[in-house]
Structure 1
Amino acid sequence: MNYKIDADTIESLKKAQKNEITEYHIYSKLSSFIKNEHNSKVLKQIAQDELSHHNELKKFTGTDMKPNILKIYFYTFISLIFGITFGIKLMEKGESGAEKLYRELGNKIEEFKTIAKEENKHEEELIEIIEEEKLQFVGSMVLGLNDALVELTGTLAGLTFALKNTRLIALSGLITGIAATLSMAASEYLSARTEQESSRALKSSLYTGGAYVFTVACLVFPYLLFSNYVLSLVLTIIMAILIILVFNFYISVAKDLPFKQRFFEMAGISLGVAVISFIIGHFVRLFLGVDV
């Protein structure tokens, strides 16, 4: 090689080379697990790109790098549980340092210019054409989560001071939540049915209902676990914030959407409704003279 690269840069290239061979194994594993033929072909193409990058870097480092086994299993597991688009994009977000190094070296060495171009554009284009059902029904999941968080957080907060009995609050919350789940799923089916075929409309309603009933179960759980109604309400609000946090993080990674704005918007609406309902429950109890 005629190119003079300093020792620190060589070490950085070795780390990048290790990442490339690790990602080659991740994409290869995922391609063998995925039943969708189109997605499997896309993942195999990305895997070959990563292997090619590893081999290019080997020309400069002069060494073979072993993959990070823990990272392979972690991202494979994440991708299979939460979807390949989420897993891949989460992994790629951690590789910005390598891309920056490739761009800098690309100003002097032609091989790195090619690698940088493929890292930035080619992989993004391939990832975008991955067909994944979860992401096609994100709107339905958002609908279910939003409605459940706003309606049930408010309902439980109102019932907390109105009833002051965790068992009664849990019972009322579950009945309200299950009824609302069925209502939401049916409404989503009828709404989607006007624009889509029956099978897709049914899936849309199931995603909406599934997200709703999952949220209901999480929010009611503290009232089944503890006898102190104030503690249960606090834990329910914490649970609501955690659901909003996790879901918005998922969406922000999988769909490349801003995280902070969506999180604070959802949290603000849910907590605002909870506070108003809490106050209403307190005054309704005083006005009606109910003593449970």
Structure 2
Amino acid sequence: MEQNNKEKNYFLLSCQQRERDEAELYKRISDRIKDPEAKKILKSISQDENSHAEKFASYSNQILKPNMSRIRFYNFIAIMLGYTFMLKMFERGEEKAINSYKAHIAEIPMLETILRDEEAHEAKLIDLLDEERLQYVGDMVLGMNDALVELTGSLAGYTLAMQNTSVIAMAGLITGISATLSMSASGYLSSRASGNKNAVKSSAYTGIAYLITVVLLIIPYLLFSKDNYIPALIVTMLIAISIIAGFNFYISVAKDEPFKRNFFEMAGISMGVAVISFIVGIIVKQVLGIDL
């Protein structure tokens, strides 16, 4: 009996803390966004979560404050990756909360009312999630994927052909910056030809994604000594895989797309091109007899 009471009390306190944290986060996001309808919905959800926390407090007989470390962490995610991504993560939390509440309704009757609210919140959040940056995810994928395929291939080829990290970094930067400008210009012309009124913004997202990827892939060649070109290439490949994993995780959360399939597809293409380019670098060096 005592063990059951401890478990019940722990459950109540964890639920109370979650509701208090979510109330504070929804409030902070509602204060930041400009869409009046979204602001209204998020404030309403925040008030509901506060009400739930108070109901749990009537059972636990404790007053809990928001966990500010958790609040700051998720607030940072909202600022860096967008409130849509953060709310999608919370939507997953809502699903877990719903399942947890269903398992305890028999012993805590008030959970039935809270459960209805949480299911309504989940539906509202799904309808709400439409952030501008997600409209340009296709442009970001295009820029990032093109940079990963083109530059990992180029760097792999340069590595065996040049065998000097400084020279490889220079060649990679020239290739990457030129390709960024070319990609942005092509994206702009393509978007304008298709009647996209936001052609400039679309090309900007493509170019920025491309340039960031270029810089991250070249960093190892700037850090390693000139003779450590193979370790630099290995680290670059690991960075490329990390970029692919991170971006696909973002997309899987924000747009409910499958992570594994997209990850292995992008990683397979990028690494496949790198391997082929690596072999081409060896052949070109041998055939031309160039020794840098």
TM-score by length of 2: 0.90
**Shift in Å, 1:43:** 2.0
Structural RMSD (CA)? 2.1
Q: Distance in 2 between matches of 1:36 and 1:196?
A: 26
Cα deviation per residue 1:97-143 (whole Å; 9 max; x = unaligned)?
A: 43222112346766423322332343343343233111111111011
Q: 1:247 to 1:69 in 2, by over 3 A?
A: same
Percent of pairs with identical residues: 51
Q: Distance in 1 between matches of 2:253 and 2:37?
A: 22
Per mean C-alpha deviation after superposition, the further-off stretch among 30-39 and 140-149 is 30-39
Q: Residues 83-98 of structure 1: matches in 2 within 5 Å?
A: 83-94=82-93, 96-98=95-97
1:224 is aligned to 2:225? no
1:32, 1:40 within 8 Å by CA — same for their partners in 2?
Answer: yes
Q: Distance in 2 between matches of 1:42 and 1:290?
A: 66
Secondary structure at the residue paired with 1:151? helix
Q: Report the equivalent of 1:236.
A: 236
Q: Distance in 2 between matches of 1:41 and 1:55?
A: 21
2:24, 2:71 within 8 Å by CA — same for their partners in 1?
Answer: yes
Q: Report the equivalent of 1:112.
A: 111
Q: Distance in 1 between matches of 2:24 and 2:200?
A: 37
1:46 is aligned to 2:45? yes
1:46, 1:123 within 8 Å by CA — same for their partners in 2?
Answer: no
Amino acid at match of 2:32: F
Q: What are structure 1's unaligned runs of at least 5 residues?
A: none
Q: Report the equivalent of 2:288.
A: 288
Q: 1:125 to 1:36 in 2, by over 3 A?
A: closer
Q: Distance in 1 between matches of 2:251 and 2:32?
A: 23
2:91, 2:122 within 8 Å by CA — same for their partners in 1?
Answer: no
1:184, 1:209 within 8 Å by CA — same for their partners in 2?
Answer: yes
Amino acid at match of 1:257: E
Q: Report the equivalent of 2:267.
A: 267
Q: Distance in 2 between matches of 1:240 and 1:282?
A: 22
1:279 is aligned to 2:289? no
Q: Distance in 2 between matches of 1:46 and 1:38?
A: 12
Amino acid at match of 2:80: I
Q: Distance in 2 between matches of 1:85 and 1:272?
A: 33
1:141 is aligned to 2:140? yes
Q: Distance in 2 between matches of 1:145 and 1:274?
A: 15
2:156, 2:277 within 8 Å by CA — same for their partners in 1?
Answer: yes
Amino acid at match of 2:220: P
**Shift in Å, 1:269:** 1.1
Per mean C-alpha deviation after superposition, the further-off stretch among 52-61 and 225-234 is 52-61
Q: 1:15 to 1:171 in 2, by over 3 A?
A: same
Amino acid at match of 1:231: P
Q: Distance in 2 between matches of 1:273 and 1:68?
A: 47
Q: 1:24 to 1:252 in 2, by over 3 A?
A: same
**Shift in Å, 1:42:** 2.9
Q: Report the equivalent of 1:188.
A: 187
Secondary structure at the residue paired with 1:123? helix
1:205 is aligned to 2:188? no
**Shift in Å, 1:173:** 1.1
Secondary structure at the residue paired with 1:131? coil
Q: Distance in 2 between matches of 1:117 and 1:284?
A: 67
**Shift in Å, 1:86:** 1.1
Per mean C-alpha deviation after superposition, the further-off stretch among 184-193 and 158-167 is 184-193
Q: What are structure 2's unaligned runs of at least 5 residues?
A: none
Cα deviation per residue 1:17-46 (whole Å; 9 max; x = unaligned)?
A: 111011101111222223443432232122
Q: Report the equivalent of 1:178.
A: 177
Count of aligned residue pairs for this structure pair: 287
2:95, 2:122 within 8 Å by CA — same for their partners in 1?
Answer: no
Q: Report the equivalent of 1:132.
A: 131
Q: Report the equivalent of 1:257.
A: 257
